[in-house]
Amino acid sequence: MLLFASVADRAGTRRLELPHRDGDTVGAIRDRVIERFPQLADAIPTLMYAIDEEYARETDAVPAGATVALIPPVSGG
Amino acid sequence: MLLFASVADRAGTRRLELPHRDGDTVGAIRDRVIERFPQLADAIPTLMYAIDEEYARETDAVPAGATVALIPPVSGG
Amino acid sequence: MLIRVTPDELNPGEAIAAVASPAAGAINVFLGVVRDNNLGRKVQYLEYDAYPSMAEKVMRELAGEAKERFGLEECAVLHRTGRLEIGETSLLIAVSCGHRAESFEAGHWLVNEIKKKVPVWKKEVWEDGEAWIEGPESLGMQQAPATMR
Amino acid sequence: MLIRVTPDELNPGEAIAAVASPAAGAINVFLGVVRDNNLGRKVQYLEYDAYPSMAEKVMRELAGEAKERFGLEECAVLHRTGRLEIGETSLLIAVSCGHRAESFEAGHWLVNEIKKKVPVWKKEVWEDGEAWIEGPESLGMQQAPATMR
């Protein structure tokens, strides 16, 4: 699991290893992160997600070994 | 009098000295050039003019000592 | 296609050389530059975070789509990361094509898409605080001090 | 404002440096480049004629009007003259301003105005002849051979 920008700052980390569970979805994994870092809860409505460098939906299944990323609203340029 | 591009090529010169006459207009001077270089006559409908580096009309008066230019349709860029 | 996310200075000459083509009559180059102010606040410097491998992937997809959509000859997209001072270039885009109108349209389209889709984030640092800017043109929220990172 | 008509190579880095400004968030650069074909004909090289002093004057007026009209910070316009090979830059424009949209609009407006108003002319040289191109996008008329010049 990769965290960026304000989410990484508020979690105090940019990277988490989470055990894979059968039937894991992006949303389920995100919820486990929020349990650990409740201060991130208010970011949920604005987050996007990626599985292995592809934008993904909350309901998408996460394969074992995949890299999930929490993507706050982007502001590059 | 300055000539450019196809007009200069067809006249075989880029620069003419013409004596100034009282009441000279751009058009009058151009006509004296065409007398000397009749091969330029067919360019007249497309020409624009400048007096001392400013676009000018055919009817504009030309002061003594001014530089008049025949400006074919431009194609820079 | 030249696509790169890098902490190093961006070089417009490199991007222009990368899009050179004998069939190109027009090259358009866009530089996103760090400005000394935003939404009325004086900016001291910016810090860019990125998900570099995904950012390059999305940039490559957008560059490919731009080539198709605008009939480009070539396309280069580079984004810088890390600390950037006022006047430094954060985003560098170059496109080449036959005619000028498409070069402007393609460049503008690419900047807009990049700002919407590429996983890169800027933090503004002011004299009295700092904020991650999340979302295009947002004012940002005052964040915890950097010592918490 | 950097305004120049010159037989020397145009350098995008110089134009970009000339428009740098702490208040600029966007720089747009346009390069008009010699293409290997025009209206279906293979081009060997171009030759640009100009009325340099008047061309610089008109370019300066247009740059000033663009600054006003689009709220630019700075503006550079350079045009090259003489013989230009395929891939070489004939026209170089750089503009800087606060935001990207205006930078694209200003650049595009300037190219269009320059092509309409600046006293510069290009001659296309093909394998089997040459022609002064007079008027934007005209096909040109076959001219007398160069020996008559």
Of B2, B5, B54, Cβ closest to residue D132: B5
- Spans in chain A with pLDDT lower than 50: none
> What was the pLDDT predicted at D146?
36
Nearest to A77 among C57, C111, C144 (CB): C111
Task: Quick: pLDDT tens for D89-111.
Answer: 999 999 999 999 999 999 999 99
What is the pLDDT, as a whole number, of residue C135?
A: 78
Instruction: Return per-residue pLDDT of chain B as tens, 77 residues.
Output: 999 999 999 999 999 999 999 999 999 999 999 999 999 999 999 999 999 999 999 999 999 999 999 999 999 99
- Spatial separation of the C-alpha atoms in residues B65 and D57, rounded to whole Å: 20
- Distance set, CA A22 to CA A17, A28, A29, D90, D148 (Å): 16, 11, 11, 62, 85
Both tokens of B64, joined, read 């003594």
B-chain residues near D120 (CB < 8 A)? 74-77
Write the pLDDT tens digit of every residue in D29-40. Answer: 999 999 999 888
Q: Is the pLDDT of residue D147 over 80?
A: no
Q: Name the residue among B53, B73, B75 with its Cβ closest to that of D54.
A: B53
pLDDT at residue D148 above 70?
Answer: no
Helix (H, G, I), strand (E, B) or coil at C120: strand
pLDDT over 70, % of chain B: 100
Q: Are B76 and D121 within 8 A, CB to CB?
A: yes
Q: Is D103 on the interface with C (CB under 8 A)?
A: yes
**DSSP output for B26-64:** HHHHHHHHHHH-GGGGGGGGG-EEEETTEEE-TT-B--T
C45 within 8 A of C83, measured Cβ to Cβ: yes
Token pair of A4 as six digits: 């960026």
Amino acid found at B5: A
Half-sphere exposure of residue B13: CA atoms within 13 angstroms, side-chain side: 10
Query: How much is the pLDDT for C116?
Result: 96
- Is residue D137 very low, low, confident or very high in pLDDT (cuts 50, 70, 90)? low
Whether residue D144 contacts residue D132, with contact meaning beta carbons closer than 8 Å, is answered with: no
Cα–Cα distance for residue pair A8/A27, rounded to 1 Å: 18
For C73, the closest chain D residue by CA position comes to D35
**pLDDT over 60 at D12, yes or no:** yes
Chain-chain contact of C29 with D28 (C-beta, under 8 angstroms): yes
pLDDT above 70: percentage of residues in chain D: 91
Distance of alpha carbon A8 from alpha carbon A2, whole angstroms: 8
Whole-model pTM over 0.90: yes
Question: Residue A17 has which token pair?
Answer: 């290893």
> Above 0.85 for ipTM, yes or no?
yes
pLDDT band at D149 (very low <50, low <70, confident <90, very high): very low
Residues lower than pLDDT 50 in chain C: 139-149
pLDDT score for D136: 60
C24·D32 Cβ contact <8 A: no
CA–CA separation, C19 vs C42, rounded Å? 36
Nearest to D87 among C13, C22, C111 (CB): C22
pLDDT of residue C39: 86
Shortest Cα distance, chain A CAs vs residue C99, angstroms:
25
Closest chain D residue to C106 measured between Cα atoms? D104
Residues of C in contact with A51 (CB under 8 A): none
Residue A16 buriedness (CB in 10 A; 0-12 / 13-18 / 19+): middle
Q: What is the pLDDT of residue C143?
A: 40
Q: What is the pLDDT of residue D141?
A: 44
User: What mean pLDDT is predicted for residues D17-21?
Assistant: 98
Residue type, D130: E
